[in-house]
Structure 1
Amino acid sequence: MKAILSPYFDAPGPAKFLRRGRFVEHPDVAQRGNQIRVGLEMAGCEIVFASSQPELRKLIIAVHDTAYVEYLESAWSNWSKMPDASTEIFPNISPNRHIAQFNENPVALAGWYIADCAAPIGEYTWRNALLSVSAVIQGASCLRAGEFAIYALCRPSGHHACQDRAMGMCFLNNAAIAAQELHQQFAKVAILDIDMHHGNGTQQIFYQHSDFLTISIHGNPANFYPFYTGFENECGSDEGEECNLNIPLPPGTNEASYIQALEKAIDVISSFKAEALVVATGFDTFKSDPLGCFSLESTSYNEIGRKIKSLSLPTLFVQEGGYFVEALSENVRQLVAGFESV
């Protein structure tokens, strides 16, 4: 398998984020990117670095709102010109968009376009997000050219990014952008999200589309981030009715229960007759991940990889979560090894 890495896969991450009312050290540290790369190398992947892709902005706007993209492009520049500006942009007001008037003040824009305090914007956020998209676009191009499987190492992640809002450490929805690009060639594209957290942004982007199937296996949002989406009754609407499947699982979910949920997802993907697959790939389901609550072992990812391979679809793995624990590189290796063993 070829692994395509953003050139900034090991860039310093944000300093802080808000968790349970406290600002704490941000978990997306540079060592995390290095661990994932080690895991890919251990699995025998061919390592390639992404380069800037032509018409990249056009491809992003095919998924994201133009005004939102323009905000991300200029957010830091405008923010840093304010007196006493912080080194990272956090929203300090959350407007009711149904009644609020749009305001171009940098503080107002932060509240308008950043949904929570887990997605601070710094000086290099736009650069890093842009090259993450380059990695998935390059990966999608490889699949369109006939390659069977690609792993795209993106930092920052993307599956919480909505059409016009950043949240949960995500700014541009890498998986959604890749799926849209694959749809240029493949009539039906499935997105399988195996991150610990519900892929709310991906769901929102494709919720009314019948050519995309979105499935997310995640912690029950009744008491887990992102709290407001990811429930079983969210099935898609209009043309996308029955094209969205959420499988929320309880804290402590072990391998047997997780694989049962994955098998259900695989059956739905098969029935959908998908022609290509994007896997929003998170390892925060691991038993000791600092942001997870499941009980998967390293060897669990080998079985997950084997199950995904059983679909026999051109597959793009897109990096989402999985944070700085000693076993992260082994978890990555196990997933790739399982996929390639079938």
Structure 2
Amino acid sequence: MKAILSPYFDVEGPTKFLRRGRFVEHPDVAQRGNQIRLGLEEVGCEILFASSQLELRESILAVHDRGYVDYLEGAWSNWSKMPDASDEIFPNIFPNRHVAQFNHSPVALAGWYLADCAAPIGEYTWRNALLSVSTVLEAVFRIREGESAIYALCRPSGHHASQDMAMGMCFLNNAAIAAQEFRKQFTKVAILDIDMHHGNGTQQIFYHRSDVLTISIHGNPTNFYPFYTGFEHERGLGEGEAHNLNIPLPAGTGEASYLQALEKATEVISSFKADVLIVATGFDTFKSDPLGCFALESTSYNQIASKIKLLDLPTLFVQEGGYFVPALSENVKQLITGFENT
């Protein structure tokens, strides 16, 4: 399997984020990218780097709101010109969008477009997000040309980013942009999100559509991030009804229960008759992950990938979460091995 990496897969990430009312060290550290790359190399993946020369704006605007994209592009420049501006952009006011008037002040825009304090914007955030998009698009192009499977190592992740808001360390929704690009060739696209947290941004983007099936297996949001979405009754609306499936699982979920949920997900993908599969791949389901609550072992990812391979679809793995750095290389090795040896 080929692996395509963002040129910025190993850059320093944001410095802090808000967790349970306290600012703590941001978990998206540079070592994450290094360990995942190490695992990809050790398992024999051919390592390629995404180009910074791709024209990305059309593909991004096919998924994201133009005003939001314009904000992300100029956010740091406008913010840093303010007196006493912080080193990273955090919103200090969250408007009620039902009644609020749009305001072009940098402080107001931060509250309008950043949904939480886990997605701070720094000097290089836009650059890094763009190259994550470049990474998945190069993977898409290769699969459209006949590759059977590719791993896209993106940083930052994308599945929490909605059409017009950033949250949860995500700014541009890499998996959603890839799905929209796949639709240029394939009739039906399935997105299977195996990250610890509900893929709320992906759900929101495709919630009214029947050509892209979205499935997320995640921690029960009753008392877990992102709290407001990811419940079983969210099934899609209009043409999208029955084309969104959430499988929330309780804290402490181990391999056996997880694989049962995955079996349900793969049956739905088979019934949908997808032409291509995107796997939003998070390793924060690992037992020691500081942002997780499941109990998967490294070998669990071998079993997960084996079940995914049985779908027999062109498959794009898109990197999402995974924050227990010491296990990341082994986790990705198990995933690739399980997929390629099935």
Q: CA contact under 8 A between 1:89 and 1:120: conserved in structure 2? A: yes
What's 2:69 paired with?
Answer: 69
Deviation at 1:325, TM superposition (A): 2.8
What's 2:321 paired with?
Answer: 321
User: Does residue 148 of the first structure (1) align with residue 148 of the second (2)?
Assistant: yes
1:182 and 1:52 map into 2 onto residues whose CA distance is: 20
Q: CA contact under 8 A between 2:6 and 2:132: conserved in structure 1? A: yes
What's 1:187 paired with?
Answer: 187
Q: CA contact under 8 A between 1:220 and 1:248: conserved in structure 2? A: yes
The correspondence of residues 1-342 of structure 1 with structure 2, limited to 5 A, is 1-342=1-342
Q: CA contact under 8 A between 1:40 and 1:333: conserved in structure 2? A: yes
1:320 and 1:327 map into 2 onto residues whose CA distance is: 15
Deviations 1:228-254 (A, max 9, x none): 000000000000000000000000000
Q: CA contact under 8 A between 2:288 and 2:324: conserved in structure 1? A: no
1:55 and 1:327 map into 2 onto residues whose CA distance is: 35
Q: CA contact under 8 A between 2:148 and 2:314: conserved in structure 1? A: yes
Q: CA contact under 8 A between 1:288 and 1:325: conserved in structure 2? A: no
Deviations 1:269-311 (A, max 9, x none): 0000000000000000000011000000000000001000000
Match of 1:55, SS state, is: coil
Deviation at 1:43, TM superposition (A): 1.3
1:57 and 1:9 map into 2 onto residues whose CA distance is: 21
Which deviates the most, 94-103 or 49-58? 49-58
Deviation at 1:148, TM superposition (A): 0.2
* Letter aligned with residue 303 of structure 1: Q
Q: CA contact under 8 A between 1:53 and 1:138: conserved in structure 2? A: no
Q: CA contact under 8 A between 1:305 and 1:339: conserved in structure 2? A: yes
Task: Give structure 1 stretches of 5+ with no counterpart.
Answer: none
* Runs ≥4 residues deviating over 4 A: none
Match of 2:239, SS state, is: helix
* Letter aligned with residue 242 of structure 2: E
Q: CA contact under 8 A between 1:221 and 1:231: conserved in structure 2? A: yes
* Letter aligned with residue 38 of structure 1: L
Q: CA contact under 8 A between 1:53 and 1:137: conserved in structure 2? A: no
* Letter aligned with residue 315 of structure 2: T
Q: CA contact under 8 A between 1:91 and 1:117: conserved in structure 2? A: yes
1:53 and 1:309 map into 2 onto residues whose CA distance is: 32
Match of 1:306, SS state, is: helix
Deviations 1:23-64 (A, max 9, x none): 000000000100000111111100000002533111000000
TM-score (norm 1): 0.99
1:32 and 1:82 map into 2 onto residues whose CA distance is: 33
* Letter aligned with residue 289 of structure 2: D
Match of 1:47, SS state, is: strand
Q: CA contact under 8 A between 1:216 and 1:247: conserved in structure 2? A: yes
Match of 1:252, SS state, is: coil
Deviation at 1:217, TM superposition (A): 0.1
1:169 and 1:48 map into 2 onto residues whose CA distance is: 24
**What is the number of residues matched between the two proteins?**
342
Deviations 1:175-228 (A, max 9, x none): 000011011101000000000000000000000000000000000000100000
TM-score (norm 2): 0.99
* Letter aligned with residue 332 of structure 1: V
Match of 2:140, SS state, is: helix
Q: CA contact under 8 A between 1:31 and 1:324: conserved in structure 2? A: no
Deviation at 1:96, TM superposition (A): 0.6
1:276 and 1:240 map into 2 onto residues whose CA distance is: 18
Q: CA contact under 8 A between 2:75 and 2:106: conserved in structure 1? A: yes
Match of 1:267, SS state, is: helix
Deviation at 1:324, TM superposition (A): 3.4
Deviation at 1:328, TM superposition (A): 1.1
Q: CA contact under 8 A between 1:281 and 1:320: conserved in structure 2? A: yes
Match of 1:326, SS state, is: helix
